[in-house]
Amino acid sequence: MILLFLENCKISLSSVFANKTRSLLTALGIIIGVLSVTLMGTLISGLDRSFESSMSWLGKDILYVSRYQWFSDMEWWEVRNRPRMLPEYVEKIKKRSKYALAVAPVMQRGASLSYKEKKTRTEIFGTSEDYMQTISTDIASGRFFTKNEDRSGSRVTVIGDGIREAFFGNQDPIGKYIKIDEIKFRVIGVLEKQGKFLGLFSIDKQAVLPLGAYKRIFSRRGWMRLSVKIPYEKLDEGLDEVTSVMRHIRGLKPNEENDFAINQTKAFEKQYTTLKIAIGGTGIFITLLSLVVGGIGIMNIMFVSVKERTREIGVRKAIGATSGMIMGQFLMEAVAICLFAGSIGILFAYSFSFVINMFFPSTLPIGLAIAAMLMSLIVGVISGLIPSYRAAKLDPIDSLRYE
């Protein structure tokens, strides 16, 4: 059965290849259709993967308390007029919240780092010893700083893997001194390798310092957020509780609106889903459009083919082909063109996926590739149906006389 099918495929392909250029041009629509749907899938799979890892870096169980609501359309001056986050909130939240497992203040700014003659620009974070509990990264070597080092304003730092690689290569960085904006800091630990956040910027290029030293040296009144770790299954309760604690700290009356924002990775997820729908929708639209156009093209070419090969059909019938066999033959040809086009499309998509891979890790989803092939098969059957029916119904005598 399968052998017969393969043989029929081969026979169909032989007549498809007898008209190479025409078949290829006809197939273009299908090629584009399959290419766009598989590329879209590849893109989304890549986005999914980098989104997942980025979200795990942010932490699904972390509440980010700051002035700014993510993805909101608030005016900048409104945000600016809100009161700042203050380091003393940390202790207040810890004391009053029963869900908060850890609270870390985080200040952030750009700085230039150097080690000997090597120099790089990166983000530095000023935070407390709780910080490690609010990120999903571990220490790869060395250690994180202690509460005492934070209080005393010790000039120690934990660097990202990217900085370690850039400055130290194979050397052990622990105990070495690097300069952050020309001030010496001792490296006491290295964070695990992370990759890129949403494929945009590397989170391995960072340096974490104790808030004490950060404030003393870099900025006393910078932008600050608080990362509050909540047990994942209690996230909603935690959110309510932290909100009310914050309102209490700020002394807000019941009728007053929040003058702070509590963000969750959910906000990203929502944004991301919108993006995914947009990409997917565009991809599917292009796919459907090119499949319809491709299908019509194939139908047209099959009509021409039936017309041109009228005599052949007559001969085949005289020799003993039944209408069903003729119909099957032409249907197979349409399907063969489509499957061939589908394979070319997937081949292209496969090579393109390597290019996409250079920007963020992604693979061509096999299920989607199979679905795309199935789709081209269906297009082949649909567009081949009427022309092959016409071929099957040709009168053998007239066909044999056809010039």
Binding site for another protein (CB under 8 A): 7, 14-15, 18, 311-312, 314-325, 396-397, 400
For the CA atoms of 282, 283, 286, 289, what is the dihedral angle to 10 degrees?
-100
Our CA angle for 36, 38, 40, nearest 5°, is: 65
Residue 96 or 390 having the CB closest to another protein: 390
> How distant is the alpha carbon of residue 73 from its chain centre?
24
CA distance 4 to 52: 46
Our CA angle for 345, 346, 351, nearest 5°, is: 100
Residue 155 or 317 having the CB closest to another protein: 317
Cβ at position 343, least distance to another protein in Å: 22
Going 122 to 126 to 128 to 133, the CA torsion angle's sign is: negative
Residue 198 or 325 having the CB closest to another protein: 325
Cβ at position 47, least distance to another protein in Å: 47
Cβ at position 25, least distance to another protein in Å: 18
DSSP reduced 3-state for 234: helix
Residue 52 or 308 having the CB closest to another protein: 308
Cβ at position 2, least distance to another protein in Å: 14
Residue 165 or 312 having the CB closest to another protein: 312
Of the candidates 43, 40, 47, 45, the one whose C-alpha atom is nearest the C-alpha of residue 283 is 40
Cβ at position 325, least distance to another protein in Å: 6
CA distance 375 to 148: 64
Cβ-based burial of 349 (10 A; exposed 0-12, middle 13-18, buried ≥19): buried
Residue 114 or 323 having the CB closest to another protein: 323
Report the amino acid identity of residue 50. Answer: S
CA distance 302 to 294: 12
Residue 34 or 321 having the CB closest to another protein: 321
Cβ at position 402, least distance to another protein in Å: 11
**Residue 52, C-beta contacts closer than 8 angstroms, at least 6 positions apart:** none
Cβ at position 322, least distance to another protein in Å: 4
> 265 and 62 in contact (C-beta within 8 Å)?
yes
